[in-house]
Amino acid sequence: MATAAGPPPDDSAVPAGGRTRTRRVLSGIARPYRDSHGVGRFMLVTGTVLAAIMVVLAVFAPLIAPFGFAQVADVDGERFGNHLEPGGVHLFGTTTQGFDVFSRVVWGARTAVTVVLLALVFSLIVGVLLGLVAGYVGRWVDRLLVMIMDSLFALPALLLAIVVAFLLAEHIGGGAATAALAITAVYVPQYFRVVRAATVSAKEQTYVEAARAMGARSGTIMFRYLLNNVIQSVPVIATLNAADAILTLAGLGFLGYGIQPTEAAEWGYDLQRAVTDAGTGIWWTGLFPGMAIVLLVMGLTLMGEGLNETINPAIRVRRMLSITLPERAHESRPGVSPVSRQPGPGPEQDGEAGKDGAQ
């Protein structure tokens, strides 16, 4: 789950042959989809579709959900009834409290997407910034930060999230921001590690040296030159972490430290209520929110793995080797540059294939 091995900073800028910035960004996003093959493409596309469905549910929740997430009666004021079986007006049935399960699943998508996006932004800002500074400045700053981050990483993720959520709930209440910050605490160390490693290797490159020789200040070097380059390693972990974050959020909700039920619909909380129902054979209160979690997490995981397979050239080798003679790999190793612009199978092995297994 934790992505320890980050992809090397490959594929620098897209050829800037008079293209506008927007087009460059768009083609940057489209590139993994264009460049992928076989299993990688299948995973990337399936994952994107699954995640996109959930994002659509989240964005258009007010239009899709027939009822509010805490609504127990229809417009005429007639109560829904508790534990109604799926079907009719209530597509997925109703819960013990009389909530409409389908509506809660849809609103839950909104909660999950919001919290994970918030957490992603928070942890990217903190993690990338600290990683960049630690990698570039080095010395005691680096050592101290590495030690703190390693220690945070050693704590069980869920435990850390629980404690942070628990403490924050006392100050700022149990809303989306609390849950997002709790999740942030869990994932900052991962971005830190990857960005720091990328910075350490990138700062030795000639272009950084050139900038320094011209008298550029540290801030300029870090944010103008290094940031663009080290950020390349982020998308894969960001996607995989987003998947993990959904699980952490649901875990928090399940234990009762996530978003308070009065504030928003949350799948983990719904599952907690459903455990009691399971004893009496009521399956619909748990099955649907659970399925929603599985679909979203699977979507994001498939996306992340597909991206990894496409962006990270070290893994491409594996697919190639299954077709061609494996021993060729060793002969061409020494003269190989880590930068690859070739979309198709090229001779770019670095003998590190299988490092992806260290996740």
Contacts with another protein, residue ranges (CB under 8 A): 1-2, 39, 147-148, 150-152, 154-159, 162-164, 166-167, 170-171, 243, 247, 250-251, 254-257, 268, 271-272, 274-275, 278-279, 281, 283, 286-287, 290, 293-294, 297-298, 301-302, 305, 318-319, 321-322, 326, 353-354, 356-359
Taking the least distance from each CB to another protein, the nearer of 133 and 243 is 243
What's the start-to-end Cα distance of the chain, in Å? 6
Nearer to another protein, 95 or 232 (CB): 95
Nearer to another protein, 87 or 326 (CB): 326
Q: Which is nearer to another protein, 161 or 234 (CB)?
A: 161
* Cα→Cα distances 133→75, 218, 344, Å: 56, 10, 36
Give the count of beta carbons closer than 10 Å to the beta carbon of residue 16.
9
Q: Smallest distance, Å, CB 85 to another protein?
A: 15
Q: Which is nearer to another protein, 28 or 86 (CB)?
A: 86
DSSP 18: S
Rank residues 59 and 159 by Cβ distance to another protein and give the closer one: 159
Minimum distance between the CB of residue 260 and another protein, rounded to whole angstroms? 14
DSSP string, 171-197: HH-SSHHHHHHHHHHHHHHHHHHHHHH
Q: Min. distance of Cβ 125 from another protein in angstroms?
A: 20
Residues in contact with 228: Cβ distance below 8 Å, sequence separation at least 6, in sequence order: 13
CB of 101 to another protein, least distance (A): 14
Element (H, E) at 48: helix 38-59
- Min dist. Cβ of residue 156 to another protein (A): 4
Q: Which lies closer to another protein via its Cβ, residue 87 or residue 354? A: 354
Nearest distance, CB of residue 92 and another protein, angstroms: 15
- Taking the complex as a whole, the smallest distance from the CB of residue 227 to another protein amounts, in Å, to 28
| Phi (first) and psi of residue 90, to 5 degrees | -100, 95
- Cα 156–159–160 angle (5° rounding)? 85
Q: C-beta of 236: minimal distance to another protein in Å? A: 15
Nearest residue (CB) to another protein, 157 versus 259? 157
Q: How far is CA 55 from CA 69, 266, 284, in A?
A: 17, 15, 23
Burial (CB count within 10 angstroms: exposed 0-12, middle 13-18, buried 19+), residue 2: middle
Q: Smallest Cα–Cα separation from 235: which of 17, 55, 31, 24?
A: 31
Residue 215, judged by CB atoms within 10 A of its CB (0-12, 13-18, 19+), counts as: exposed
218, 219, 222, 227: CA torsion to nearest 10: -170
Q: Which is nearer to another protein, 62 or 351 (CB)?
A: 351
Shortest reach from residue 16's CB to another protein, in Å: 37
